[in-house]
Structures are given as C-alpha cells and as structure tokens.
Amino acid sequence: MAVNPSVSLPAHSGFSEGGSYTVISPVTGRPVTEVGLASAAETDAAIERAAAAFPSWRAVNPGDRARLLRRFATVVEEHIDELAELEVANAGHTIGNARWEAGNVRDVLNYYSAAPERLFGRQIPVPGGLDVTFLEPIGVVGIIVPWNFPMPIAGWGFGPALAAGNTVVLKPAEVTPLTALRLGELALEAGLPEGVFTVIPGKGSVVGQRFVDHPAVRKVCFTGSTAVGKNLMAGAATQVKRVTLELGGKNANIIFADSDLEKAALAAPGAAFDNSGQDCCARSRVLVEASVYEKFLSLLEPAVTGMSVGDPADPATDMGPLISAGHLDSVIGYSASAQIAFSAANGGGTAETAGGFWHPPMVALPRGANDPIWTEEVFGPVLAVMPFRDEAEAIALANDTEYGLSGSIYTRDIGRALRVARAVDSGNLSVNSHSSVRYWTPFGGFKQSGLGRELGPEAPNSFTEVKNVFISHD
C-alpha cells in the first residue's frame, strides 16, 4: 500500500531560500518527496510579480478571461487521476474522495468561468444624471489553505478571485503542498499568463505572514484554525486589509424521534468520519431525542464497527489515516480520556503501515456538556452522542458553542425542520442529509467559524470593490 510509484512527485517548487520540507506519507510515515520553501524575500518577489501582472490581467476582455478559465478547467479535467493520486500520496485521502476533490476544482473553475461576462454593476435612479456602479477587482489576493482539503479549498479561493480579475498568490499548508504546486503548473499549461496565479509553498509564519504584511496584497482569504484566523484578522486590520475567514466547526447532527432512524444512523458515520474526521463540517456532535437514544446507538454501532479503515488507494476503503504524527497525538489526547462506547474493529495499521498515522473511528459518550470531546474541535474520527429532551433543548445544545459552521436535522416533521433550521446559528444546514458544500451555493460560518462566504453565485463579488460613478447630464 505504498505510494503509487507511477505518480510524478514534484520535487521543485521554484523556491528554496526558506529551506525545504520533507513531505511524509500519512499511510506509512515514510518520506515521499522534498519541497523547497519560500523565504520572506522570495515571497515578496512573487507578490510583486503578481502585482505587476494585475493591470494586464484585469484588462483581459471578459470573454477571453472566461475562455482561459474554461481551458484551465479542461487541463485540470485531463489530470484528475494524477491529481487524485498525488493527494492519496500526500494527504492519505481515499481515492474516491481525492477524485471528487480534483473534480471539484474543475467544476469550480467552470462555474466561475461564467462570471467575467456577468460581473454586473447597477444603474441607480438619481436626479440630474446617471448613476452606475462597477465591481472593480481588488488587486493581488493571498489565499492561505489548510491541509485537510488542499485542492477544493484552494479552488474556492482562486476560481472566483481570478474570474473577478484579481491576480492570486496561494500558500498551501506546509504538509500538503503537492497538488497545489501541480495546479500552479497546470494553470500555466492552460495559458494563464505568468504572475497571474502563483503557488508559494512555505511556513505560515513566513509566507502567510507576508500575505498579511505586504501592502500589495489587498485581500487575504484564509481557511484554517480559529486561533490563527483571529491573529491574521488582527494583523490585517493595520492596513484595513480585506479578509475572508473560514475557521473551525463543532457541528451538531440533531436526530428527532420521528425521523427515519435507520437512515440517520447509517448516515452519521460518514458525516463525522469522512476524511478521517478532518473536516470543518464534520458532524461530530450527535444529539438524539431521549426516547430513541438507546435504539439509535444500537443502530449506529454496526455502522461504525464495520467500517473499513486502511489503504486509501483501495476504492473499497471507507477511511484512511490522519495527516501527521503530531495531529495523531492531538486526536489521541482527546480519545484516550473520553468515555468510548465502541470503535471500528479495524484501526487501519498493518505491518506494512506500522509507521502511518492511524486512528480508528470511535463513538464517545460525553460525561456532560463541558466534556472536551463535546466542546472542542477534535478534527479526527471521534464523534460524541448525547440525548436531548425536546426541541428547545436540542436547539440550546446545538448553539452552545462559539462555532457555527454546519449542521444537520433529521425529522419527518417539515414544520420542525424549518423551525430548527432557522434557530440553529450555523451557516450551512441540511435536513435529512449531511450535505454542506455545493460549489453553486454559499458556504461559510456564523460566530467564530468565520467571516464572509465562499462559493455560490456571489463569490466573485467578494473579490471586488464596489465603485459608484455619477455622470451629470449637464
């Protein structure tokens, strides 16, 4: 189950002064390849190239910019298998997920390729003349990506940002640079001019910090932890720099007694353990109406114990490893002190993968509403189940968190579904399903889960400034 040797693993990033990073396979714990990291000076030089490329990129006529983005989407489409295999090698994602992730980049590019000709301003009635608004691109946009979904989260930023006429510098997470670097090469192959989209691998404290500090970067689009996001927002405030923040989550899956309990129990593991639970939208808090709590647990148990954990390159695998040794330690820190009800029989580790970062999916029964397994974002395959008495208590428990990213409601009562969906303070809710992300619907968090929205029809607007122009009749 080693890394697929047919995948070409880029060793050169075009940067080197910031040292290098040894990419480790989460499956085996063994080195995969070495990536050169950018220094602060190299980052500044890349930002300045992006600033130099901005005037001509914004001037590309809308139809041509659209065509270039469609061509970029086509080139991504032609490399879906390669990109997916790279992600399996770098991040240990299951091959099915990784193919979906590469396909999502293609879809996002295709969707936003329709934006350049549709960046409409408005004509507003005024006396004495004509008033029109323009959506002007901002300039250089810095996109900072976490390690959990390296391809989609990159695309959600660069797709609409490029479509709106901005140039982009993008920093992947230190541990997962490979697909982003390849996407940077594919953009050039598709014909995007040099400097329009530059991938800069490096440390958050170096490259990411330059995105915050360099005045030519006019907006930072950050996805990552709430702690880093807060610091970044404070840093950006010194230049009144625009930010979009997509941060953590501790999302509730609320299951009422009148729901299709079998369906809810079968779906709950996927909603919490997809991508090994390393998902800001993971429904890691399951709230079950007290009258069906025991029955729900008895239905959930076989769905969890039977999960297939192992080789992510095998299409039959449900769950792969965690991203890194450090993250595995962090997840074990939670699971070792939690009250575990049951876990998957197969934890993933074999003699061949003994050095990998394996953690079985687990179901915990919190000791109370203050138990860390219930309150903190574990970002691993541990879900916690708690009973509730009635609708009011379910809503109160769901909202008893500083996060507000996603959530689910299982009920057959449509009135209740609507009441609860309106009452839960989260940006993305689904009823009788766990879907959170469609590239054509808006995505983002309430409270400390973020600021602003990505995706959906309005995303390009968030990479523009509104300019109002009045033209006098006289």
Active site residue 189: no
For residue 146, state whether it binds ligand NAD (rule: CB under 6 A).
yes
Nearer to ligand NAD, 150 or 269 (CB): 150
Angle ∠(296,300,303) on CA atoms, nearest 5: 155
Task: For ligand NAD, give the closer residue by CB, 346 or 430.
Answer: 430
Which contacts (CB < 8 Å, 24+ apart) does range 312-317 have? 312/27, 312/88, 312/92, 312/93, 312/94, 312/95, 312/98, 313/1, 313/4, 313/85, 313/88, 313/95, 314/1, 314/95, 315/94, 315/95, 315/96, 317/94, 317/95
Contact between 147 and ligand NAD per CB under 6 A: yes
Give the closest residue to 302 by CA, choosing from 330, 269, 340. 269
Nearer to ligand NAD among residue 364 and residue 405 (C-beta): 405
For residue 205, count CB atoms less than 10 angstroms from its CB and return exposed for 0-12, middle for 13-18, buried for 19 or more.
exposed
CA dist 81 and 91 (Å) reads 15
| Contact indicator for 15, 37 with CB cutoff of 8 Å | yes
- 465 is an active site residue: no
450 interacts with ligand NAD by CB under 6 A = yes
CB of 174 to ligand NAD, least distance (A): 5
The Cα–Cα gap between 276 and 348 comes to 11
Q: What is the smallest separation between the CB atom of 426 and ligand NAD, expressed in angstroms?
A: 11
Q: CB-wise, 259 or 408, nearer to ligand NAD? A: 408
Site string for ligand NAD, 154-193 (x = CB under 6 A): -----------------x-xx-------------------
Task: Build a one-symbol-per-residue string for 324-363: x at contacts with ligand NAD by CB under 6 A, - elsewhere.
Answer: ----------------------------------------
How many other C-beta atoms are found inside a 10 Å radius of the C-beta of residue 290?
13
For 142, counting Cβ atoms within 10 Å of its Cβ (0-12 exposed, 13-18 middle, 19+ buried), the class is buried
Interaction of residue 379 with ligand NAD, rule CB under 6 A: yes
Strands (E), 234-274: 242-246, 252-255
Q: Which of 183, 288, 405, 429 binds ligand NAD (CB under 6 A)?
A: 405
Does position 204 interact with ligand NAD (CB under 6 A)? The reply is yes
Complex with ligand NAD: residue 205 or 441, whichever CB lies closer: 205
How far apart are CB 398 and ligand NAD at their closest, in Å? Answer: 17
CA distance 98 to 275: 10
Q: Select the residue interacting with ligand NAD from 43, 94, 113, 148 (CB under 6 A).
A: 148
> Nearest approach, Cβ of 179 to ligand NAD (angstroms)?
13
CB 226 → ligand NAD: shortest distance, Å? Answer: 6
Q: Least distance to ligand NAD from the beta carbon of 351, Å?
A: 30
How many Å is the Cα radius of gyration of the chain? Answer: 23
- Tell me which of 101, 174, 246, 454 is the catalytic residue: 246
User: Which of 89, 95, 144, 385 touches ligand NAD by CB under 6 A?
Assistant: 144
Contacts of 230 (CB under 8 A, 6+ apart): none
Name the residue with tokens 């810095």. Answer: 142
Give CA separation, 333 vs 169, 324, 388, in Å.
35, 14, 27
Candidate list 42, 87, 174, 280, residue with the active-site label: 280
| Residue 239 DSSP one-character state | T
Query: In the complex with ligand NAD, which residue's Cβ is closer, 106 or 171?
Result: 171
Q: At 302, is the secondary structure helix, strand, or coil?
A: helix
Positions that interact with ligand NAD (CB under 6 A) = 144-149, 153, 171, 173-174, 204-205, 208-209, 212, 223-225, 228, 231-232, 246-249, 280, 377, 379, 405, 445, 449-450
